[in-house]
Amino acid sequence: MRKLGFVIALFATLAIAPTPSHAQSTDSFAKALHTYGSYRVVPNITYLTANNWEAKLDLYQARDATTPSPTLIYFHGGGWVQGSKEASSLTFLPFLNMGWNVVNVEYRLAKVSLAPAAVQDALCALRWVYRNGKEYNVDLNRLVVMGNSAGGHLALTTGMTPASEGLDSLCPGSEELKVAAIINWYGITDVNELLAGANVRNFAVGWLGGMSNREEIAKRVSPLTYVRAGLPPIISIQGDADPIVPYSQNVRLHQALDKAGTRNQLVTIPGGKHGGFSDTEMAKAYAEIRGFLDKQNIVRLTAN
């Protein structure tokens, strides 16, 4: 079992460091992993160039990995208008501590390109993993996508969007893009609901901009649009007092997936807000995630 001291030391190293730039943050995190854990870190790999902007990802791999390993592909939150992969590094520490590979993905925010750019980028990141995974001991049959908030939305669209939708047109290929499971932390499932009315959110309006067909595009990038039989198992975690993403969105997703016969689970954090869960609540959530993935015979989230 990996030592708890690794996690404690890593948090301490980052906590005492001065507020860094994005590049420095990645470098500090990588150095801490090298010092306190046996990890290979490959930062800022360009997986796509679009709008003269290089989309990059960081790859974390256990140094002692000799066979293909389960791999988490992670998307940060921020309402598609802010956030960075560097600022989210600690989010996936539980997976690193269990010996997984992790691919931490950045994508085009609204200031670079409006919807559906972020969805396109996320699919291209998955394509990159398919094409380069062998080099990094990635088991393509044990890929899990995860994200928080807007990142949860991107995890859902990455695992649910059919090839026929053509949202992978920036990185065409013959590979069938599929994942073994989706972990959705309070992600948006119905973008149109956030564009007007009682649940309007400025970040969603900002992502769609003033496009005349924004309702059509919003539907095209909404996970609820793609509910059908044959999807990978999906587990969603959300507080029922979330003030940012209506809790009802993930209730609706859960109900629609049940109706379609897709394996899924909704983990409700009573009184929980938009993340910021307590240690006890996080322990509960990860226990549910472990149980869910084990039950589906996808991967075992057992510490080494």
Domain definitions of the chain by residue range: 4-295
> What six digits make up the tokens of 89?
């590094």
Q: What is the pLDDT of residue 30?
A: 57
Give alpha helix (H) positions in the chain.
Answer: 4-15, 22-36, 93-97, 117-132, 150-160, 202-208, 214-220, 247-260, 279-295
- What would the mean pLDDT of 118-139 be, rounded to a whole number? 96
Q: Which residue has the higher pLDDT, 148 or 299?
A: 148
- What would the mean pLDDT of 260-264 be, rounded to a whole number? 98
Which residues lie closer than 8 Å to 134 by C-beta, 6 or more apart? none
In the structure, what pLDDT confidence band is assigned to residue 25 with cuts at 50, 70 and 90? low
pLDDT higher than 80, residue 33: no
> What six digits make up the tokens of 280?
């006890």
Q: What average pLDDT does the structure give for the chain?
A: 88
pLDDT higher than 50, residue 291: yes
- What would the mean pLDDT of 212-229 be, rounded to a whole number? 97
In the structure, what pLDDT confidence band is assigned to residue 234 with cuts at 50, 70 and 90? very high
d(CA 280, CA 282) in angstroms, rounded, equals: 5
Give, to the nearest 10 degrees, the angle between helix 117-132 and helix 150-160: 60
Question: What CATH number does the domain located at 4-295 have?
Answer: 3.40.50.1820
pLDDT higher than 80, residue 29: no
The length of the chain, given as a count of residues? 304
